[in-house]
Each structure stands twice: as C-alpha cells, then as structure tokens.
Amino acid sequence: MDIDLSSMPLAQISADIELIFVVSGEMNHRFVRDASLLEECGFTGKEGQKCYLAHVKRLYVGIASIEWDELRTGCAQAIRALRNVKASSLKVGAYAAKRETNWLAAMVEGFLLGDYSFDRYKSTKENHPIENVTISLENFDASINLVDDIQILNERLKRSLIVSDAVNFTRDVANSAPDDMTPSMMASLAAEMAREEGLEISVYDENWLEENGLGAFLAVSRASAHAPRLIHLTYTPQERPVARVALVGKGLTYDSGGLSLKPSEHMITMKADKSGASAILGIMSALAKMELPIEVHGVIGATENMIGGNAYKPDDILVAKNGKTIEVRNTDAEGRLVLADCLCYIQDYAKENEFELDAILDFATLTGACVVGLGEYTIGLMGHNKKLKESIEEAAFKAGELIAELPFNPYLKELLKSQVADICNISSSRYGGAITAALFLSEFISEENRQKWAHLDIAGPAFVEKEWGCNPHGASGAGVRLALQWLEELATR
C-alpha cells in the first residue's frame, strides 16, 4: 500500500473511496456530508461503528476522540472494513489537534499495521484491495493550518512507513511455524536482511558456544534436533555515533518447556517465544533507512527448548559465560538462561573492543507471570535506573505501545538463592515471577552496566490470539515501535 500526503483539499483529490471519521458523535461536522442518511442507517458515530455508503463511496467510522491511539485504531478498523470492496484508492482528511506530527504517524501505522494479515499457510489469501491512500492536509480542526508543515510531515510519513514495515516484518518472523524458523533459518534470514540493509553480521554455532563458555545457553539447546545460533547484527552509522546501544532478544524458536514439560494447552503458541528475537530483527532492519546516528548491536539467542535423552534437567548445575553457577530447578525457565549468556556476551564484546555501551535493553517473552500481572496487552518494564525506565515509558506512549513498570525490591532477590550454586533459575516463591526473572537477568549484568540495563517482558502483547487495536490475530511486533522511538529520541538528546 502506498500512502501520500496532499496539500489539496479533500474535494479536489480523486480517489475511489473517501474515509470520514465521526469524532465523539459529532454528526454536524463539515466533514460529515451524509448526516441524515447515516441516521437512517442507525449510525450515530459511536466508537467502533462503521457505515459504508456504497452509492456515494464514503466510509464513515466512529472514533471517541482524535487522540493518537484512537486514530490508529480507527484507521485499522477502516482498512479492515474495506477488505472486500471493489476499489483501489482511498482519501482521508487530517486529524491533528495541534501542530505536531504524531497524528500522521498514528494514521499511517493504523492503515499499514491494520491491513496486515498472516496468510502464508492459507490456500486462499485475504484481499487487500486498497493500494493507494491519500491523506489530505485539510484538517478536521479548520483553525489549524497544516499545509505550511508539509515538509516535516513528509519526513514523518517516510519514517512511519519504515517503522510499519519493520513491525510487519517482525510479525512475519514471529508468526512463522517453528519448523520454518529454526535457529539456523533465523540466522539465514538475519544474514539476508543484513545484506540488504548494509549491516554487519556474525553467527555462532554450538561449538563456538561451548568454546566460549556459554554453558547456560548451550544446555537449553542440547536436546533439540536444530542446532542453536547466537546472532550478532551491528548497525554503524555513517557519521560518528552519538551513542552505542545493545538490544538483546530471546529467540526460542520453540519452547516445549523441556523436561519440565508444559501442559499441551500451554505449549500452543510457543512458536512465538522467539518474539524478542523477531523484534530485534525488525528494529535492526529499520536503522539504516532511518539514518540514526547510533551504533546498535542486536544480539539474538536462537534455540529450541526440547526433550530427549540428552536434555538438560532439573538438578543440573550450569556455568554461565561470566562464571556464575546456576542450579536448574525448572527447565521451562529457559529464556533467562539463554539471555544470561547473551547479555554476558555483548558486555564482554564491548570490553574486548574497548567501547562503552550507553544502554542495554533486552526483549523477551520471559514469563507467564507478567501476563497474569499486567494482562495481555501491556509490556512489563524492569531495571535499576529510574531515568532510563521513564525514557522508555515516554517512548512507548508516543509510539502507541502499552508498558508498565514492575518494581524491584531486595526481598524478591532473596528468593533466587540456591543451596548448591550461586543462583537458582527459579524463585522459591510462586509470586512475583516476572520480577524474579528480571532479577535473575540482573545477576548477569556487570556492576558498571547495572544502571544502563532495562528488561522488557513482552510475553503478553507479543502474541495474542485475537485482534486488538491495530494488531491482528497472532504476532503484534511488540517492542519495535517503542524501541525505534526511543532510539530516535536518544539520538536527539
């Protein structure tokens, strides 16, 4: 789908269909030209209501307000409502409450993210008839003139297209069936993307993991028929970087639970346990196109967690890359083991290459407890640095992702004590599981990096088996929009 901006008034733009939002039931707004007919159809402009008047080719959609989130969802609902029309172009006005550009990002993302469907495995594909969308700068609030801003709006349009592509790419990866996205396939895909985007890439196999002491990652991978891969992508900007950031992703291409086997109803959807890794791939795919002046290291721990005679087991003692010993008491708490070694890896890499990281963010579908605590739609945010967490929350808000902090405390840390090793891979309490998982990861962040690290548990929003907002059934691409927004802001700070 192509999206363009036009400084021409709506009436002068030719398109097959016009989309009009009725905002908070305001049926006498100048954009609404069919008020009496709409009333006859029982359309009152209530949030979520849709009415397509085929003879005049106008689609009316009710939204509660022109807040960014409402607009994004409204555009997603509109484009979905047009799945079966015989038309290929759409025009719509601007809905800006003030002179800024986020309304435009929200609309563009609404159309592109809302139009996404994952039908790779379906014989009959979904229709996506709308090929062109023109957004007129004729604004809903006539007192705000946007035409003078067309240049910065066009810039913002360009970035929103890049971000939306990145989200949809992430969705494709996360939605892939586990046998179509094994660790080595993920590495090949990463290499292909790196080639296209001009990124550096290094891929390491199980022998390298063994030689380099990534004993926790290796143990998780042992019983799988598909060998593990540690994938390291690097984006280096043209100019001198203003900051260096590491993004680490959990890439469990399948999580059966291992010997602490998941019950069958909990195993379904565990192909999406690679959503953190998928987000890293999406984010990395956008950086060069966005020309961000930040050096970004994307690190992925890709493996399956399976069963077999050689599986790692409860009671095993593992040695992580930083030398810490880990008592395994549950093999289903595998993500933290893989991430622990990946976090050690990137910190050691920075040290060996004599540079300092300004931030380390990890993205992981880490705990069911996070979903229990926050619900399916919200990312759990943890870390030691208040300012860093606030900057991530701010970026998430602007990007239209839901996030909430889960606070650390010293009593929870106690729960990870092991009688036989340095630390245990699960907590001794059934409560606070999202936080204790993050506190486990924290033990693999060196003292000098503690304030630079934040953990994002995306177990809730990464994969939801129903449509919500601009997200389809399945993978949402959680974390991508907020990370790109956060990196952009870091670049201007």
Please, which of residues 450-479 interact with ligand BES by CB under 6 A? 459
Candidate segments 96-104, 307-315, 319-327, 360-368, binder of ligand BES by CB under 6 A? 360-368
CB closer to Zn ion out of 335 and 460: 335
Q: Is 262 among the residues known to form the active site?
A: yes
Asked if residue 391 binds ligand BES (CB under 6 A), the reply is: no
From 32-40, 182-190, 333-341, 433-441, span contacting Zn ion (CB under 5 A): 333-341
Site string for ligand BES, 329-348 (x = CB under 6 A): -x-xxxx-------------
Residue in this structure with the two tokens 């095993």, named with its chain if needed: 316
Question: What value, to the nearest 5°, has the Cα angle with vertex 425 and ends 424 and 429?
Answer: 80
- The CA distance from 325 to 344, in Å, is 14
Instruction: Output the smallest distance, CB 461 to ligand BES, in A.
Output: 10
Instruction: Kindly identify the residues of this chain, within the stretch 254-313, that bind ligand BES according to CB under 6 A.
Output: 255, 273
The residue (of 272 and 346) whose beta carbon lies closer to ligand BES is 272
Query: Which 259-288 positions form the footprint of Zn ion (CB under 5 A)?
Result: 273
Q: How many CB atoms lie within 10 A of CB 39?
A: 12
DSSP state letters, 406-464: ----HHHHHTT--SSSSEESS-SSSS-HHHHHHHHHHTTS-GGGGGGEEEEE-TTTTEE
368 contacts which partner out of ligand BES, Zn ion, none, CB within 5 to 8 A by kind? Answer: ligand BES
Task: Classify each residue of 128-161 as buried b or exposed e, where b means 16 or more C-beta atoms within 10 Å of its C-beta.
Answer: ebbeebbbbbbbbeeeeebeebeeebeebbebbb
Q: According to CB under 5 A, which residues from 197 to 236 bind Zn ion?
A: none
Size of the site for ligand BES (CB under 6 A): 16
DSSP state of 255: E
**Binding region for ligand BES (CB under 6 A) out of 35-43, 107-115, 326-334, 338-346:** 326-334
Candidate residues 303, 367, 442, 476; the one interacting with ligand BES per rule CB under 6 A: 367
433 contact, one of Zn ion, ligand BES, none, CB 5-8 Å limit per kind: ligand BES
Question: Of these partners, Zn ion, ligand BES, none, which one is at the site of residue 367 (CB under 5 to 8 Å by kind)?
Answer: ligand BES
Binding residue for Zn ion, selected from 10, 174, 248, 252, defined by CB under 5 A: 252
Q: Which does 459 bind (CB under 5 to 8 A by kind): Zn ion, ligand BES, none?
A: ligand BES
Asked if 250 and 229 touch (Cβ cutoff 8 Å), the reply is no
Q: Which of 262, 289, 313, 329 is catalytic?
A: 262
| Token pair belonging to 413 | 């840390």
Out of 59, 245, 369, 379, name the contact with ligand BES by CB under 6 A.
369
Which is nearest to 103 in space by CA: 66, 74, 131? 66
Q: How many CA atoms lie within 13 A of 131 on its CB side?
A: 3
Nearer to Zn ion, 256 or 449 (CB): 256
Which does residue 477 bind out of ligand BES, Zn ion, none, counting CB within 5 to 8 angstroms by kind? Answer: none
Active site residue 324: no
Helix (H) or strand (E) holding 235: strand 229-235
Distances (CA, A) of 305 to 22, 220, 241, 322: 49, 6, 37, 22
Write the CB contacts of 101 (distance below 8 Å, at least 6 apart in sequence). 149, 152, 153, 155, 156
CB of 470 to ligand BES, least distance (A): 21
**Helix ranges (DSSP H) in 324-432:** 335-352, 368-374, 386-399, 410-414
Sequential DSSP letters for 275-295: HHHHHHHHHHHHHHHHT-SEE
Q: Which helix (H) or strand (E) holds 71?
A: helix 68-81
Which helix or strand (DSSP H or E) is residue 39 part of? helix 35-40
How far out from the chain centre does Cα 443 lie? 25
Give the Cα separation of 369 and 432 in Å (integer): 7
The nearer residue to Zn ion, 109 or 457, going by C-beta atoms, is 457
Residues 411-430, interacting with ligand BES (CB under 6 A): 426
Spatial neighbors of 365 by CB under 8 A, at least 6 apart, are 250, 252, 272, 273, 275, 276, 335, 457, 458, 459, 462, 463
Residue nearest to ligand BES (CB): 368
- Least distance in Å: CB of 421 to ligand BES? 16
> Out of 72, 321, 336, 481, which one is annotated catalytic?
336
The DSSP secondary-structure symbol of 125 reads P
- Region of 78-86, 88-96, 182-190, 327-335 interacting with ligand BES (CB under 6 A): 327-335
Burial 13-27 (b: 16+ CB within 10 A, else e): bebbbbbbbbbeeeb
User: In angstroms, what is the minimal distance from the CB of 433 to ligand BES?
Assistant: 5
330's contact among ligand BES, Zn ion, none, with CB below 5 to 8 A by partner kind, is: ligand BES
403 binds, among Zn ion, ligand BES, none (CB under 5 to 8 A by kind): none
* Interface residue list for Zn ion (CB under 5 A): 252, 255, 273, 332, 334-335
* Interface residue list for ligand BES (CB under 6 A): 255, 273, 330, 332-335, 365-369, 371, 426, 433, 459
What is the set of active-site residues?
262, 336
